[in-house]
Chain A
Amino acid sequence: MSRTIGPAVGTVGGPAAACDDRAVPVDHHRPTAPLPSPAGAPGAAPPVGPPPDGTGRPGAGRSWPAELLRAPVAWRTWRSVVYLLAAAPLGSAAFAALAAAGLACLLAMPLALVGVVLLGVVLHAVREYGAVSRALAAAVLGERVPAPRRRQPADRGLLPWLRAALGDLDGWRAVAFVVVSTPVRVVGLGAVALAAGTAVALVASPVAWLVLDPTKVAADGTVHRSIVQFGDVYVDTWPEAMTVAALGALGLFAAPWLARAAAAVDVALVRALLGPTRLVARVESLEETRALAVDDTAATLRRIERDLHDGAQARLVALAMHLDMAREELVGDAVDAERVGRARTLVERAHRDATEAITELREVTRSIHPPALDRGLDEALATLTSRSAVPCRLTTDLPVRPSPAVETIAYHCVAELLTNVAKHSGASRATVAVAVDGGVLHLRVTDDGAGGARLVPGHGLAGLADRVRTVDGWLTLSSPAGGPTEVAIGLPVRA
């Protein structure tokens, strides 16, 4: 597998991002559950994927001749062999058990519910077998396939349980897996054994020929000193014997690929039949991002409430208090110059409270929705970048206007990234580039600072990544130590 070399690269995005092994998927939220259906779901890919040129290039993979020469001793080969050795007997046993259980169900059918209940139990058991198969693929080959979600019976009791068990599509898919994968495993293992055995025999044949000195009598009565024969061709000279050995050696290099292919086909079946279906994977991804969206909204509301409570609201209370104190100074009979003076001081303080409350309210309202955004993302970003603490160059290319939600997300992303640049990077300049290309709004924020930025769960950048995922967007980060730092974000124009 390719490994990223060079700058630290992280990608967070929808399913398409996850199945792209050019970038290292970073999933902070469910470390145990990989992103949905990597290989199996090209059709379910969201409208946006990471840039095709890939911010993270593959590491220098081995050249194919080297790969070919290494095949017989490669880890991958032997893992595949071990996998087939374990999977074939397991599959055969499951196949036999399933056949027996199927027969039992069929025979029990006339006995009212018994056959049906038995079928439900069998489906349950087959799902467990599916779990074992996933675990085997994960343990031996490192191929992690997420488990499909289990359907809970709608109610207690036998009938709801039966309904859930018999209507469990994943159970039936697991049955299909047993039926299809077992021949693959058995035939695959057999073919590998045959190929490897033949190859070894051929390689060893010159030695056997020399030591055993066999004689063979052909149909026409001629005697050959040969141990290997192909039809009427008897291998009985040194050049011929060495050619045969060379053929065997070739076989030794080819057999590993047979093992790998068989294992790969089986893993593909595991993915297709034992993983969540494409639609389910998409639903799960949507559920996750919806939860992110809800959390994000709640956090935003909480921040706004906090800002108002600690800021403008406190100022207004102080304002009212100072005004009331001033009034009290001016009420009564003995209003002398001293009391008027105190009242003036209090009124001045109240005035200061009022101006500060206005400033704070303006900050809060701007943080909710910058007014400039009504006139377009480019204008809002122009205002934003001109206020940036670090000098910032902005380029925009927006032939189409993104939807308001996307504009708002884009604006807040740039705002937060520029704040990060000012706070953490120590950069002397930054650039913001915004362009719409092929239905995707691309944002690129770079700085010449110290680099070393990371996606830490629960913190700024990861939070941004979560936010862009809510509209099927993605975020990639490249920030090697020493800089420069580049954050690229893609958002569907319509979301």
Chain B
Amino acid sequence: MGGLRVAIAEDAAVLREGLVGLLTARGFEVVAAVADAEALAAAVDADRPEVVVVDIRMPPTHTDEGLRAAIELRRRHPGLPVLVFSQYVETRYAAELLGGGADGVGYLLKDRVAHVRELVEALERVAAGGTALDPEVVTQLVGASRRTDRLDTLTPREREVLALMAEGRSNAAIAAALYVTPRAVEKHISNIFMKLDLPESETDHQRVLAVLRYLRS
């Protein structure tokens, strides 16, 4: 990849500059770096970025401006990939963001910025219309799910695979993360789908959606 046009909204100057430096060094083209939601909306209209990175907490109230801006942006520009950052995981925020569809949506903790490679991968995945959820977000979604009886039937390994699937990872990525063969991952996945009674899905992405829908229902 490379040359992907990114708009950044982050109110802490030190992080904003850091992100610009990092993404530029990784071959992204940062078309806008702004400090609040209003400026972001203007920048998106003017510069037509291919993906937007936005901090949830921004002025003036420092609560969830960024999240509301992200939801509004996706309403105005359907399909616009958005990656939101937060210092904390808020299950409600994740649910609101995913409420409008999980394709092209990312929700990462700010800690993730410190893992440059993961951040870049997540950004690329989101830009390509995929999903990138922070492991913490997934843990909370699983914890908040009311389907505990079904989830309890999963083996520990299957739960790990489920979590990685929910993060938006591909089979290959899951296999690499768990140090198992892709075939073993496929086996776990079909077990999970069977136990949770989910429809078989063709693509990685449909699979993520199925899992997220399951966890939120």
- Where the two chains meet, the residues of A that have a C-beta atom closer than 8 Å to any C-beta of B are 306, 309-310, 313-315, 317-318, 320-325, 328, 353, 356
Q: A306-B62, A309-B87, A313-B87 are in contact. Are A321 and B116 (CB under 8 A)?
A: yes
Report the contact-size class of chain B (Cβ under 8 Å from the partner). 10 to 19
Chain B residues near A328: list those with CB within 8 A: 116-117
- Select the residue from A314, A321, A323, A324 with max chain B CB neighbours within 10 A: A321
Chain A residue at smallest Cβ distance from B55: A314
Does any Cβ of A come within 8 Å of B12's Cβ? yes
Q: Are B116 and A318 in contact (CB under 8 A)?
A: no
Collect the chain A residues with CB atoms within 8 Å of residue B114's CB: 317, 320-321, 323-324
Q: B15 to A318, Cβ gap below 8 A?
A: yes
> Are B12 and A314 touching (Cβ within 8 A)?
yes
B15, B57, B117 interface centre (most CB from chain A within 10 Å) = B15
| Residue of B11, B18, B21, B22 most packed against chain A (CB within 10 A) | B18
| Contacts known (A309-B57, A313-B87, A321-B22); A353 close to B14, Cβ less than 8 A | yes
Is B110 part of the binding interface, using a Cβ–Cβ cutoff of 8 Å?
yes
A317-B110, A321-B116 given; A310·B12 CB < 8 A: yes
Mark each residue of chain B from 89 to 119: 1 if its CB lies under 8 Å from any CB of chain A, else 0: 0000000000000000000001101111100
Q: Are A324 and B15 in contact (CB under 8 A)?
A: no
Q: How far is the CB of B54 from chain A (nearest CB, A)?
A: 15
Chain A nearest Cβ from B74, distance in angstroms: 25
A317 touches B113 (CB 8 A): yes
- Scan residues 13-56 of chain B and give those whose CB is less than 8 A from a CB of chain A: 14-15, 18-19, 21-22, 25
Enumerate chain A residues within 8 angstroms of B110, measured Cβ to Cβ.
Answer: 313, 317
- In the bound complex, how far is the Cα of B19 from the Cα of A321, in angstroms? 9
Q: Can you name 12 A-B pairs with beta carbons within 8 Å? A: A310-B12, A313-B87, A314-B14, A315-B14, A317-B15, A317-B114, A320-B114, A321-B15, A324-B114, A324-B115, A325-B25, A328-B116
Instruction: Given A328-B116, A328-B117, answer yes or no on A318-B14 (Cβ-Cβ < 8 Å).
Output: yes
Q: What residues on B are CB-neighbors of A310 within 8 Å?
A: 11-12, 62
A317–B14 Cα distance when bound, in Å, is: 9
Inter-chain contacts of A353 with B (CB < 8 A)? 14
Please determine whether B15 and A314 come into contact, CB atoms closer than 8 angstroms.
Answer: yes
Interface centre among A309, A318, A325, A353 (most CB of B within 10 A): A318
Residues of A within 8 A of B18 (CB): 317-318, 321-322
A306 to B61, CA, bound (A): 11
A322 to B14, CA, bound (A): 11
Query: Which residue from chain A places its CB closest to the CB of B59 in the assembled complex?
Result: A310
Give the residues in chain A near B62, CB-CB below 8 Å.
Answer: 306, 309-310
Residues of B within 8 A of A321 (CB): 15, 18-19, 22, 113-114, 116
B26 to chain A, nearest CB (A): 9
Proximity string of chain B (109-133) to chain A, C-beta cutoff 8 Å, 1 when within and 0 when not? 0110111110000000000000000
Q: Give chain A residues whose Cβ lies under 8 Å from the Cβ of B21.
A: 325
> Smallest CB-CB separation from B88: which chain A residue?
A309
Q: A309-B87, A310-B11, A323-B114 are in contact. List 10 more A-B contacts (CB 8 A).
A: A309-B57, A317-B15, A317-B110, A318-B113, A320-B113, A321-B15, A321-B18, A321-B113, A324-B115, A325-B25
Q: Determine the distance from Cα of A318 to Cα of B113 in the docked complex, in whole angstroms.
A: 8
Complex CA gap A310/B21 in Å reads 20
Residues from chain A with Cβ under 8 Å of B87 in the complex: 309, 313
The distance in angstroms between the C-alpha atoms of A420 and B122, with both chains bound, is: 47
* Nearest opposing residue in chain B for A346, CB measure: B21
CB distance from A355 to the nearest CB of B (A): 12
B21, B111, B114, B115: which has the most chain A beta carbons within 10 Å?
B114
Interfacial chain B residues near A324, Cβ < 8 Å? 114-116
Contact partners of A306 in chain B: CB under 8 A: 62
A318 to B19, CA, bound (A): 9
**Least Cβ distance of B121 to chain A in Å?**
13
CB <8 Å contact, A317 and B115: no
Cα separation A310 to B14 with both chains bound (whole Å)? 10
Instruction: Write the nearest CB–CB distance from A22 to chain B, whole angstroms.
Output: 43
What residues on B are CB-neighbors of A315 within 8 Å?
14
Rounded to whole Å, the gap between the CB of A173 and the closest CB of chain B is 48
Q: Which residues of A contact B113 (CB under 8 A)?
A: 317-318, 320-321
Contact of B116 among A317, A325, A356 (CB under 8 A): A325
Most buried by B among A310, A313, A328, A356: A310
Q: Whole-angstrom distance between the alpha carbons of A309 and B114 in the complex?
A: 16
Say how far B22's CB is from chain A's closest CB, in angstroms. Answer: 6
Contacts of B111 in A (CB 8 A): 317, 320
Chain A hits for B12, CB < 8 A: 310, 314
Contacts of A318 in B (CB 8 A): 14-15, 18, 113
Inter-chain contacts of A323 with B (CB < 8 A) = 114
Closest to B25 in A: A325
Smallest CB gap from B119: residue in A: A321
Measured between alpha carbons, how far is A314 from B14 in the docked complex, in Å?
7
B108 to A: closest C-beta gap in Å:
12
Q: CA–CA, A306 to B114, complex, Å? A: 21
The CA-CA distance from A315 to B116 in the complex, in Å, is: 16
Are A325 and B22 in touch, CB under 8 angstroms?
A: yes
The chain B residue sitting closest to A315, CB to CB, is: B14
Lowest 5 A-B CB distances belong to which pairs? A320-B114, A314-B12, A318-B18, A318-B14, A324-B116
- Name the residue of chain A whose CB is nearest to the CB of B110: A317
Taking the closest CB of chain B, its distance from the CB of A219, in whole angstroms, is 96
**A324–B18 Cα gap in the complex (Å)?**
12
Residues of A with C-beta under 8 A to B11:
310
Bound form: Cα–Cα A309–B85 in Å: 13
- Find chain B residues with CB under 8 A from A317 CB: 15, 18, 110-111, 113-114
